[in-house]
Amino acid sequence: MSLTIRRAKASDAAAIAEQFSDPDVYGGTLQLPYPSEELWAQRLAANNPPAAGSNEMVLAAVIDDRAVGLAGLHPVGPSVRRRHAMSLGITVAQSHQRQGVGQALMTALLDYADNWAQILRIELTVYHDNQRAIRLYERHGFFPEGRLKAYALRNGAFEDVLTMARLHPKQPLVGA
């Protein structure tokens, strides 16, 4: 198994749509079931090439020319005062979980954030019971900041999520 991390592209759409069709995958995200390949092709094409001045990044983990994982850093919103913050999302195909794919995607995204994209703060939400994901995030320097009650509907029940964040390990002067 040779794992490659690269920028995601529209041709990855079929594999990504297939991943997000798996209840074990989309159940851990805020994505809806039954995504279309066309939807993912549009999303991925919109990021290639990235908009001028954008530091948004979407990476694919690829094995045998097939995307088996996806991770991205996305702006948290249009506010000028929040340009230093990005939101992180990550998913790995069920068949490739517990094989280092998530670890490789996180390592690559955080290298990009810390060394190239001027990102000070990375935020995410994770279902309160997704212990594997929480452990992955903690290994990469994320800390829980709060719990949001009844945040998202999952399998017919409103579930809590944890908010987690990570600050750049070599922060510039902050709040002097």
For position 22, what pLDDT does the model report? 85
The Cα-based distances of 89 to 2, 58, 60, 106, 174 in angstroms read 23, 9, 12, 10, 26
Dihedral sign, Cα of residue 94, residue 61, residue 83, residue 119: positive
What does DSSP assign to residue 138?
H
Q: How far apart are CA 152 and CA 131, in angstroms?
A: 17
What does the pLDDT read at residue 71? 96
pLDDT value at position 143?
A: 97
What stretches in the chain show pLDDT beneath 70? 173-176
pLDDT for position 174? 62
pTM comes to 0.90
Query: Which residue ranges form the domains of the chain, and what is each CATH number?
Result: 3-124 (3.40.630.30)
